[in-house]
Chain A
């Protein structure tokens, strides 16, 4: 056997271990039988049960709303923060980057409990507290997406714009923003993914009555695993998969400016 075939088998094994459980989950979500070992034929029953279940639909909208709003807020704060960190001198730069990375490496449970303690003192637990928590842990991802773009950007283009008579704000919007926009976009999508992915921190900060898909599934499973949960998990898996694919699009090779122009987003285009 050649090393090449051995390599392929090795890769295949990794793929099986990684994805077989998810594949089983997806298969079970279409299983007409409630049993986990018997195939009872193909059905979409569990999916229709999902749609008609109001608490599930509520959780779905909460999840989407939370992901979108928290990603938006953290993109704005992250963009401003990145520009600040970028302009720091070396020591401040390292220090700020280190501080930024802490929430990312920190165990979720620690972040969750810490935020809970904080919120209990100042804020009633609910959608707002979860939103703030999500913004908190999204920020490092956004900053990590934008900073490399800032470092790659050609600062002389900004100076050239000033030289040609542009004010600082105009030069920023017209010259710098288009260069770092791909970073902001992938940071935003990354934040959406992270927000939808989170369970632990949400669980600690949500309070009663608010549920995202992951906390809902956790709650339901404690009462016994229902096939609807397979369907719900499958849906969640595919949404996150789609988002990840969006994050990894080669934004540098796509001419964002042309796309925006075609979409008639005049803001970034010629006056």
Chain B
């Protein structure tokens, strides 16, 4: 693996007595695309702001390239931020915006002009030098904000929900742009979002956070296929999150129905959480399978049908399939052992399924 560039060591932070980050430890490597993912109030933006130098932690250290930068002001750090609401300087032209950092560093006029042109080309807005930021669309403003940051050749680019204000189509386009930019520039990206799809699409590493605690760190595939607790399973993608009893290694019981799986090490007759992704539930029109059930609803979602099946073991399965099963039809239900993911029951509140209504409201900087 590449060299470690940033390390958070035992970071804690609270605002007005409510704890936002609880003993956070995280390593970020050179040229890595790291996404901090979680619901609002989970501490992801605070983590980014501590890295940017806009907040200082109550305790713990931030190490950057081997140096302790915990108390270094933002203007002395070798990283640049793309803010959630762009934060373009409204009283300056596009070129003046991009030149802001370069002028402070004392580059000469020709260099500045070349670098402006280069960065505008990178974000696909050549010839926009003299435009006023207010005359640009949201997507264009976002690109200028990115150009203004990368023109300074930072070692790390911090992005705080940069696509949050864009519409779906534009957002998807920008996701590919960001991946391309990262490849071209070869710098580290630290990205904050609450959008799990965005996180899975772009990242090398996803850091899932809840209530100021890191729940899981892994590749998008790991996070999706092997969630470590109920919170992660529920937050990433859709899932059937079921109560089960681990009978013994490789055998789990769902309401008495024993299903073979591949997980080991959960003891015998222990209560566990079982995750089955909707696309992994197989239905059979002839009724053959591990159990049977009745289709209670079917909704067309474009790529697939989303079906609810009430099974005879008393569990309602959410199923995604390209086949059509009419409401009321009896179907067989089966799941491949490899597609059953077993997790320990949550031992703490932050590992539980996220409830929108109970989201902590303490954090000021997230919308």
Contact = CB atoms under 8 A, between A and B. Distances in A.
**A and B bind:** yes
Interface of A: 154, 156-157, 159-167, 170, 175, 178-179, 255-257, 270-271
A179 B100 CA distance: 17
A159 B74 contact: yes
A179 B85 contact: no
Interface stretch (B89-97, B187-195, B265-273): B89-97
A159 B83 contact: yes
A196 to B, nearest CB: 31
B104 A163 contact: no
B152 interface: yes
B158 to A, nearest CB: 8
Interface string B66-84: 0000000111000011011
Contact of B83 (A160, A165, A170, A255): A160
28 contacts: A154-B85, A156-B84, A157-B88, A159-B54, A159-B74, A159-B83, A160-B83, A160-B87, A160-B148, A161-B100, A162-B53, A162-B73, A162-B74, A163-B53, A163-B75, A163-B149, A164-B100, A164-B152, A165-B75, A165-B152, A166-B100, A166-B104, A167-B75, A179-B91, A257-B91, A257-B92, A270-B96, A270-B103
Contacts of B81: 159-160, 163
A161 B152 CA distance: 13
Given A154-B85, A163-B81, A167-B75, 16 more contacts: A156-B83, A156-B84, A156-B87, A159-B52, A159-B87, A160-B81, A160-B148, A162-B73, A163-B74, A164-B148, A165-B75, A179-B90, A256-B91, A270-B99, A270-B103, A271-B103
Contacts of A164: 75, 80, 100-101, 104, 148-149, 152
A156 B84 CA distance: 9
A154 B80 contact: no
B108 to A, nearest CB: 12
B104 A170 contact: yes
B123 to A, nearest CB: 16
B267 to A, nearest CB: 50
A157 B89 contact: yes
B136 to A, nearest CB: 16
Contacts of A159: 52, 54, 74, 81, 83, 87
B3 interface: no
Contacts, number: 68
B105 interface: yes
B240 to A, nearest CB: 41
Contacts of B54: 159, 162
Of the listed residues A157, A160, A271, the one surrounded by the most CB atoms of chain B closer than 10 A to its CB is A160
Contacts of B152: 164-165
Nearest to A89: B16
Nearest to B77: A163
A257 B89 CA distance: 12
Nearest to B151: A164
Contacts of B88: 157, 160
Contacts of B74: 159, 162-163
Contacts of A162: 53-54, 73-75
A169 to B, nearest CB: 11
A248 to B, nearest CB: 22
A162 B73 CA distance: 8
A154 B87 contact: yes
- Lowest 4 A-B CB distances belong to which pairs? A164-B101, A156-B87, A160-B87, A162-B74
Of the listed residues A154, A156, A167, the one surrounded by the most CB atoms of chain B closer than 10 A to its CB is A156
B15 to A, nearest CB: 12
A165 B105 contact: yes
B116 to A, nearest CB: 13
A177 to B, nearest CB: 10
Contacts of A170: 104
B104 A165 contact: yes
Of the listed residues A164, A170, A271, the one surrounded by the most CB atoms of chain B closer than 10 A to its CB is A164
A269 to B, nearest CB: 10
A156 B85 contact: yes
B91 A166 contact: no
A161 B83 CA distance: 11
A164 B100 CA distance: 7
A256 B91 CA distance: 9
A165 B101 CA distance: 6
A163 B54 CA distance: 9
Contacts of B80: 163-164
B68 to A, nearest CB: 20
Nearest to A181: B91
A27 B188 CA distance: 76
Contacts of B96: 270
A166 B75 contact: yes
A93 to B, nearest CB: 15
A178 B148 CA distance: 20
A118 to B, nearest CB: 40
Nearest to A159: B54
Contacts of A157: 87-90
A178 B91 contact: yes
B111 to A, nearest CB: 15
Given A156-B83, A163-B74, A163-B81, A175 B89 contact: yes
